[in-house]
Amino acid sequence: MNGLGAFLERQRELRGAWLKALYGVLAALVLLNLFVGPHEPHFGLDAYPGFWALFGLVVGVLMVVIMKRVVQPVIVRREDHYGDI
């Protein structure tokens, strides 16, 4: 295992710290959004601070839940459904 591989291996044990860092960065971004906004909001609502954060979170959650829990169960078949594998 080379240097980079060993470094990545060590990071596995620091999961908690990385997660805290992520939450910290996200909070900082929203805080910054209170002071920095778009010159010309494109959708109206995006003038409000936190819009894009909420947009990313809500669209992401809806997309994953709807596609994995509602759509996929309907359209999924066995891997060799067409008999060409």
Partner 1 sequence: METSSFIHPAIGFLALAAVLPFLRGKWWNWLLPAPAVLAVFAVFTMTPGDHLTLNWLGQTLLLGRVDKLSLVFAQVFAVMSVAGMLYAMHVKDRGQHIAAALYVSGGFGCVFAGDYLTLFVFWELMSIGSTFLVLLNRTRESVLAGFRYFLYHTAGGLLLLAGLLIRYKALGTWEFTPMAPGSAHLYEWLILAGFCVNAAVVPLHAWLPDAYPRGTVTGSVFMCAYTTKTAVYVLARGFAGWEILAAAGTVMAVYGVLYACIENNARRILSYHIVSQVGYMVAGIGVGTAMTLNGAVAHAYAHILYKGLLFMGTGCLLYAAGTAKLDKLGGLAARLPWVMVLYMVAALSISGMPVFNGFISKTMTITGAAEAHRTLVALGLEIAAVGTFISVGIKLPYFAFWGGKPTDNDRVLAPIPWNMYAGMSVLAVLCILQGVAPSILYAYLPFEVEHPYVPWSVWHVLQSLLLLGFSGLAFYLLRKVITPHEGLNLDVDIAYRAVGTGALRFVCRPLAFLDDRWTEAYRTGGLRGLMGIALGSVWFDRRAIDGVVDGSARTVRGIGGLGARTQNGSLQDYLGLAAFFALCVFGLVWYLG
**Which residues of this chain interact with partner 1, rule CB under 8 A?**
1-2, 4-9, 12, 22, 25-26, 29-30, 32-33, 36-39, 42-43, 52-57, 59-61, 63-65, 67-69, 71-72, 75-82, 84-85
State the nearest-atom distance from the C-beta of 16 to partner 1, in Å.
13
Between CA 73 and CA 70 the distance in angstroms is: 6
State the nearest-atom distance from the C-beta of 17 to partner 1, in Å.
15
Between CA 27 and CA 31 the distance in angstroms is: 6
State the nearest-atom distance from the C-beta of 85 to partner 1, in Å.
5
